[in-house]
Amino acid sequence: MDRWSYRILDVFSNRPLAGNQLAVFEDAGDIPEHLLQVLAREIGFSETVYLTAGSDDSDAAMRIFTPASEVPFAGHPALGAAITCASRTGRTQIRLQTGRGVIVVFVEQGSGGAFRGSMHQPIPTVATAPNAEAILAAIGAPRSELPVMIYNNGVSHVFVVLNTPEQVAALRPDLQALTSLAGTLDAALVGFNVAAGSGDCWKTRMFAPAAGVPEDAATGSAAGPLALHLARHGLIDWGQEITIKQGAELGRPSELLASVALTENRVGPIIVSGQAHMVGGGWFDASLLRASATA
């Protein structure tokens, strides 16, 4: 049977069956373009990755799809894709071609089947969020302890900071209002992030209903910008590594590590790390889907 096979990973988790789910098609070169979004929607994870052959400066090219749209970069897909490549090739440094250029991920295998990856993320642009009051109202927060800002590293992330992790856990956002607000921002994908914590321990939740992700279990593309946001406003030190807890409200607890340096008034590198587990896989009947697409 002609099959399109994929692997399933749990990313940014210290154990299987937690963290953020990811599907990775390792050899997606013959999947028709019009089926990429359809298959991502069928799988239903927050992101699905399609890998094809790389170029001279990359080990593989990756495309990332949410259930609703393609995005140029995302964190847990990059980590999971790199670990997939490393498990196949034995390499410890993987270079992935993304919509935001080449992302370098360092991979090592740990105990119990776990992999650990560490990536250098793109430096985001920073802007004040328009409609801050409307954003707070849609999230259900009376105020933000820091200015409401947008960081874009391929995905636009809006950040709201609350007083306590308990306040973050108690949020019941208006997803329809957030979907409408996302449409006012010029970006392929908008994540609304809410964080609270102190020192090196922070809790976050991320909502991206316009992208087909009502809430995300672990948002790697937001981890680096969160560290940058906190460092810019003096809540953490430059170079300090923070631990980010996410996903408990979804029953998929996640842990991400992030740090951002400042050298001679230049931001970078931004480093995001975490563990992942290969937990399974699946396949689609390629002949059947090709035939149904032309029927």
Are both 183 and 102 inside the same structural domain? no
271, part of any domain: no
Are both 191 and 170 inside the same structural domain? yes
pLDDT of residue 35: 96
Domains held by the chain: number: 2
21, part of any domain: yes
Are both 118 and 201 inside the same structural domain? no
Token digits of residue 140? 């259900």
Alpha carbons 19 and 128: distance in angstroms, whole number: 30
Cis peptide before 225 (omega within 30 of 0): no
176-190 burial by CB neighbour count: b if 16+ within 10 A, else e?
A: ebbbebbeebebbbb
Spatial neighbors of 119 by CB under 8 A, at least 6 apart, are: 75, 78, 79, 82, 103, 104, 105, 106, 220, 271, 272, 273
Token digits of residue 55? 């170029």
Which domain does 80 fall in, by range?
3-122+277-294
pLDDT of residue 112: 79
* CATH code (residue 178): 3.10.310.10
Which of 5, 53, 10 minimizes the C-alpha distance to 29? 53
Are both 86 and 165 inside the same structural domain? no
Are both 149 and 208 inside the same structural domain? yes
Token digits of residue 235? 């809540």
169, part of any domain: yes
Q: Which of 47, 133, 145, 215 is catalytic?
A: 47
Are both 57 and 131 inside the same structural domain? no
Are both 90 and 115 inside the same structural domain? yes
Q: Report the run of H or E that residue 212 belongs to, with start and end.
A: none
270, part of any domain: no
272, part of any domain: no
pLDDT in tens, the chain (295 residues): 599 999 999 999 999 999 999 999 999 999 999 999 999 999 999 999 999 998 889 999 999 999 999 999 989 999 999 999 999 999 999 999 999 899 999 999 987 789 999 999 999 999 999 999 999 999 999 999 999 999 999 899 999 999 999 999 999 999 999 999 998 886 667 999 999 999 999 999 999 999 889 999 999 999 999 999 999 999 999 999 999 999 999 999 999 999 999 999 999 999 999 999 999 999 999 999 988 766 5
pLDDT of residue 103: 93
Cβ(67)–Cβ(44) below 8 Å: yes
Cβ(194)–Cβ(76) below 8 Å: no
Would residue 47 show up in a list of annotated catalytic residues for this protein?
yes
Are both 99 and 224 inside the same structural domain? no
Are both 100 and 139 inside the same structural domain? no
Cβ(107)–Cβ(115) below 8 Å: yes
Spatial neighbors of 259 by CB under 8 A, at least 6 apart, are: 227, 239, 240, 241, 242, 270, 271
214, part of any domain: yes
Are both 255 and 288 inside the same structural domain? no
Which of 137, 138, 135 minimizes the C-alpha distance to 148? 135
285, part of any domain: yes
Q: What is the pTM of this model?
A: 0.92
User: In a 3-state reduction of DSSP, which class is residue 112?
Assistant: helix
pLDDT of residue 187: 64
71, part of any domain: yes
Are both 108 and 150 inside the same structural domain? no
Query: Alpha helix locations (H) across 185-285?
Result: 220-232
Token digits of residue 27? 């050899």
Are both 103 and 179 inside the same structural domain? no
